């Protein structure tokens, strides 16, 4: 029961961030401005990847050009396993989304 409630809260918060607050372009801008800071880039990648768990948000995230920012993060920080793993997971979500369009 707790897990279901927690998932619902996550989905509601994710929808608020993406749809109401339009946070994805801001997150991508932070990734660009601080592209040399692996810790900031890693956290931003984690946020994008977490938002991608909500299937109905993937289109908005995709349209915000998140793929490009994620690819740039992986390219610039290819020695960082956390960034690589997070970006790979987000890319898997986008691949699943692309099969539905």
Could you give the C-alpha distances from 16 to 2, 10, 96, in angstroms and in order? Answer: 21, 10, 23
Sign of CA dihedral 35, 21, 67, 56: positive
In this structure, are residues 91 and 70 in contact, taking their beta carbons and an 8 Å threshold? yes
Q: What is the per-residue pLDDT across 4-51, written as a single tens digit (0 to 9) for each?
A: 678 899 999 999 999 999 999 999 999 999 999 999 999 999 999 999
Cα(19)–Cα(13) distance, rounded to whole angstroms? 10
Q: Where are the domains of the chain?
A: 2-99
Taking the model in full, what pTM does it have? Answer: 0.90
């Amino acid at each position: 029961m707790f897990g279901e409630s927690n998932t619902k809260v996550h989905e509601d918060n994710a929808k608020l961030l993406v749809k109401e607050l339009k946070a994805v372009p801001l997150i991508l801008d932070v990734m660009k401005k601080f592209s040399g800071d692996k810790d900031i880039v890693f956290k931003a990648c984690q946020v994008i990847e977490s938002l991608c768990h909500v299937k109905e948000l993937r289109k908005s995230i995709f349209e915000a050009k998140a793929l490009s920012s994620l690819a740039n993060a992986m390219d610039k920080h290819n020695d960082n396993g956390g960034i690589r793993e997070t970006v790979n997971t987000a890319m898997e979500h986008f691949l699943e989304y692309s099969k539905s369009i």
